Amino acid sequence: MPGTVLDGKALVQQIETELSVRFHKIKEKSNGKTPILATILVGDDPASATYVRMKGNACKRVGMESLRIVLPQATTTEELLNEIDKLNANPDVHGILLQHPVPKQVDERCCFDRISVSKDVDGVTALGFGRMAMGEPAFGSATPAGIMRLLRHYGIPVEGKHAVVVGRSPIRGKLDPKWSEWFAGFSITHTNGETVLEGTVADQSALYGILAKIHDLGLTLIRVERLSKESNLSQGVLP
């Protein structure tokens, strides 16, 4: 059976259309106010600046507002924490995104976890992850949430399947705790592994390899392949 390419961009357009209708209704019921997404960019990394700009453009397309916070490269952990505290305390801000990566002198994990779990729309806080693990309400982590949304959209069943997650970073490689409920099992491979757990692959008749790279709104393109025991995805491994 040939591989299936899942068109995340087309799905994004559909989601944005649905969100536009929802935000219009919210605006009507709140005297013209709309949800505000705050983005924090620390430093001058060109790729990060592009991602933040894309998020701002997405907000405009669906009819919500964005608040862009830009901090200098020399920003300290304390200075960044102070900015996050301000946003946490601002009742007009409904979501906070801290753009990864931050400069090396900043304690990124400490700053992620400073974000109020009620505004952690990117699913990066340890508290939010723990709440998901316990089955409590929380925003899903962007990458696994995007993967599952695409699979559901294309009607690809995951029950009884074994998922291979390529990458181990906290941003892309960490699993949504609910994956253990959706899939029969899963394995993780990364840059220190030459093959995708060859022994496991040989024992699976229908094993999906999921390769994801998130560019915007947690959704772009996911490639799903049927793997055999000879499969080697080392060139597709994410850092």
The mean per-residue pLDDT over the stretch 200-207 comes to: 38
Tokens 């705790």 sit at which residue?
177
Residues that are catalytic = 55, 99, 122
All residues at 6 or more sequence positions from 121 whose CB lies less than 8 Å from its CB, including other chains: 37, 94, 95, 96, 97, 139
* Lowest-pLDDT range of 44-53, 156-165, 200-209: 200-209
Residue 15 pLDDT: 92
pLDDT band at 191; cut points 50, 70, 90? low
Superfamily name and number for 32-133: Leucine Dehydrogenase, chain A, domain 1 (3.40.50.10860)
Instruction: Look at the pTM and tell me if it is higher than 0.85.
Output: no
pLDDT digits (tens, 9 = 90+) for 113-141: 999 999 999 888 989 888 877 878 888 77
pLDDT at residue number 219: 32
Mean pLDDT for the chain? 76
Which is higher by pLDDT, 239 or 8?
8
Task: Return the higher-pLDDT residue of 67 and 2.
Answer: 67
Rounded distance between C-alpha atoms, residue 113 and residue 131, angstroms? 13
Residues 239 and 237: their CA atoms lie apart, in Å, by 7
Q: What's residue 48's pLDDT?
A: 92
Average pLDDT of 64-68? 94
Q: Give the pLDDT confidence score for residue 159 in this predicted structure.
A: 78
